[in-house]
């Protein structure tokens, strides 16, 4: 950093090692030394040492780590937050998740609050510690950062694009309040604990948006009789077209389209196709399988909303 | 209840403990006595919004708070002393306050070299130097050419807890 004038720099420098400054409990000891000449030679004397102990500052911040609203559907969802002990001493924090936020289209149920025990940033069932009530973190060192998960359940009956928010609150166990509030002898080494600029309280909001995909199947048939017309007579080839249209948002997983071969008709071998591309009749590497006895089945896998897939096959009227 | 945390050590004890005769020069009572103290500066906001500062005992202090370190000297001897220099290393947990007297003689290198802050520089890691700032100050000192018998005074510097 370049500073042209000391007076201008003075307020811009001094980045303490810790966000919360000198660690609580630190002793500040000051001694002055005087040297002088009394005619008999140089002498040195010390002043007494004055000592003050730095008290504990209570500060906390909380932020949502989700990049945006969590896309969800009825069932379980996880919201991720980061808590930072912004104070200068060891402190634990109580956590409270509030799923009833003004403006919610629906309210989730909070199942639990969990700590990212293995530090991988992802909630791992059975590995990450579930906090028991009253949900309280371990004592965190000054500047320590903790990833917190709020486990929620989205109720049945929600519809596509509905949103919900969950507020997570953190409060210093020692206490909170107006900045400057003193909790006597409640800090490190019997020192005081003092509420800092964050009021020793923090709130962060996690958001959910429902992505419900719906699939609509439509089936149509085109007849071609042996005489160039469209009548249903023996020998007529009937081409069935099944469209699977996924609407809403999100994804339909493991979508399989099946259809039986109508009575009085026979599957025309080798005619199964997906989006115009032929699929073999055998159960093999491709998505389709077809036979006169079992009908047709096409595995579309995961289909994103706003996608349409088309399955076609021919039968011959007996 | 807060505990009062200013601890006072009687540092004259070191001199008094020495056997008298063998160390005549050192054992002779110092003509000058130094007494240190520390106060916290609290800003008190009145109901009408005006702010006043008050020096209080540093019972409750946190990073960012302002302290005033003071040293009282008194010349209890009968003859003037010369080259009177009071040196005060800054405790590591504080920095010199930005509004400290610009004429205060300071060191930014552990007491090796001295000057007013505006005249001092600090080497960067790349070997270049930058102007020293209040944060860099390691020591402050006051130099008085001489002190007459009976003279006394008070030396202070403001500091902010890092």
The 10s digit of each residue's pLDDT in A188-218 is 888 899 999 999 999 999 999 998 888 899 9
Chain B CB contacts of A22 under 8 Å are 63, 93, 161-162
**Percentage above 70 pLDDT, chain B:** 82
Those of residues 211-270 in A touching chain B at CB distance below 8 A are none
Asked if residues B35 and B154 have their Cβ atoms less than 8 Å apart, the reply is no
Burial of A77 (0-12, 13-18, 19+ CB in 10 A): buried
Inspect the interface and report whether the beta carbons of A28 and B31 lie closer than 8 Å. no
For A37, which of B71, B82, B132 is closest by C-beta distance?
B82
- pLDDT at residue B27, as a whole number: 42
Residue A256 in tokens: 């399989």
- pLDDT at residue A40, as a whole number: 83
* pLDDT tens track for A216-249: 999 999 999 999 888 889 999 999 999 999 988 8
- pLDDT at residue A18, as a whole number: 61
Structural domains in chain B, sorted by start: 30-161 (2.60.40)
CA distance readout (Å), A18 to A107, A182, A228, A248:
39, 21, 86, 48
- pLDDT at residue A88, as a whole number: 93
- pLDDT at residue B152, as a whole number: 93
Inspect the interface and report whether the beta carbons of B62 and A49 lie closer than 8 Å. no
The continuous run of DSSP H or E covering B13 comes out as: helix B13-16
**Percentage above 90 pLDDT, chain A:** 77
- pLDDT at residue A150, as a whole number: 97
- Residue B110, preceding peptide bond in cis (omega within 30° of 0): no
ipTM over 0.95: no
B157 Cβ contact partners less than 8 Å away, ≥ 6 residues apart: B68, B69, B88, B96, B97, B100, B104, B140
To 5 degrees, how large is the angle CA A276–CA A277–CA A283?
130
- Beta pairing, strands B32-45 & B7-8: unpaired
* 3-state secondary structure at position A67: coil
Asked if residues A153 and A75 have their Cβ atoms less than 8 Å apart, the reply is yes
The stretches in chain A having pLDDT less than 50 are: 1-16
The CATH code for residues A213-317 is 2.60.40.740
Average pLDDT for chain B: 83
Looking at domain A57-210, which of 1.20.120.160, 2.60.120.10, 3.40.630.30, 2.60.40.650 is its CATH number? 2.60.40.650
| Chain A nearest C-alpha distance from B1 (Å) | 6
Inspect the interface and report whether the beta carbons of A57 and B63 lie closer than 8 Å. yes
- The verdict on B87 touching A (C-beta cutoff 8 Å) is yes
Fold match flag (A57-210 vs A213-317) = yes
Between CA A191 and CA A177 the distance in angstroms is: 18
Write down the domain spans for chain A.
Answer: 57-210, 213-317
């Amino acid at each position: 950093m370049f500073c042209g004038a000391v007076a201008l720099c003075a307020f811009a420098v001094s980045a303490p090692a810790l966000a919360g400054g000198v660690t609580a409990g630190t002793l500040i000891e000051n001694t002055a030394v005087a040297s002088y000449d009394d005619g008999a030679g140089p002498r040195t004397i010390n002043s007494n040492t004055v000592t003050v102990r730095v008290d504990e500052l209570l500060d906390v911040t909380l932020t949502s780590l989700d990049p945006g609203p969590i896309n969800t559907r009825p069932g379980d969802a996880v919201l991720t937050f980061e808590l930072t002990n912004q104070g200068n001493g060891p402190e634990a924090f109580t956590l409270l998740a509030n799923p009833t936020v003004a403006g919610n289209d629906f309210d989730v149920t909070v199942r639990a609050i969990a700590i990212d025990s293995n530090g991988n940033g992802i909630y791992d069932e059975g590995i990450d510690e579930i906090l028991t009530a009253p949900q309280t973190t371990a004592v965190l060192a000054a500047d320590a950062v903790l990833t917190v998960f709020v486990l929620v359940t989205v109720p049945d009956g929600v519809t596509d694009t509905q949103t919900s928010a969950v507020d997570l609150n953190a409060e210093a166990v020692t206490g909170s309040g107006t900045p400057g509030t003193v909790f006597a002898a409640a800090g490190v080494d019997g020192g005081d604990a003092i509420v800092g600029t964050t009021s020793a309280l923090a709130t962060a909001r996690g958001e959910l948006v429902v992505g419900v995909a719906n699939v609509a199947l439509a089936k149509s048939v085109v007849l071609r009789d042996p005489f160039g017309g469209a009548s249903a007579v023996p020998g007529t080839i009937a081409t069935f077209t099944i469209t699977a249209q996924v609407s809403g948002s999100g994804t339909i997983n493991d979508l399989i389209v099946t259809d039986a071969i109508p009575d009085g008709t026979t599957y025309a071998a080798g005619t199964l196709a997906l989006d115009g591309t032929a699929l073999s009749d055998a159960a093999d590497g491709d998505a389709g399988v077809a036979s006169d006895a079992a009908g047709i089945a096409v595995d579309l896998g995961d289909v994103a909303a706003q996608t349409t897939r088309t399955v076609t096959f021919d039968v011959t009227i007996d | 209840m807060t505990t009062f945390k200013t601890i006072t050590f009687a540092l004259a004890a070191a001199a008094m403990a020495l056997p008298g005769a063998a160390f005549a020069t050192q054992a002779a009572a110092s003509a000058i006595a130094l007494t240190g103290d520390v106060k916290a500066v609290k800003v008190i906001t009145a109901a009408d919004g005006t702010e006043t500062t008050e020096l209080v005992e540093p019972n409750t202090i946190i990073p960012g708070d302002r302290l005033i370190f003071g040293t009282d000297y008194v010349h209890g001897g009968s003859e003037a002393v010369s080259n009177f220099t009071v040196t005060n290393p800054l405790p590591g947990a504080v920095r010199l306050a930005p509004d400290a007297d610009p004429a205060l003689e300071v060191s930014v290198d552990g007491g090796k070299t001295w000057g007013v802050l505006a005249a001092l520089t600090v080497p960067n890691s790349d070997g270049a130097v930058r102007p020293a700032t209040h944060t860099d100050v390691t020591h402050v000192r006051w130099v008085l050419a001489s002190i007459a018998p009976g003279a006394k005074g008070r030396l202070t510097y403001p500091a902010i807890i890092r």
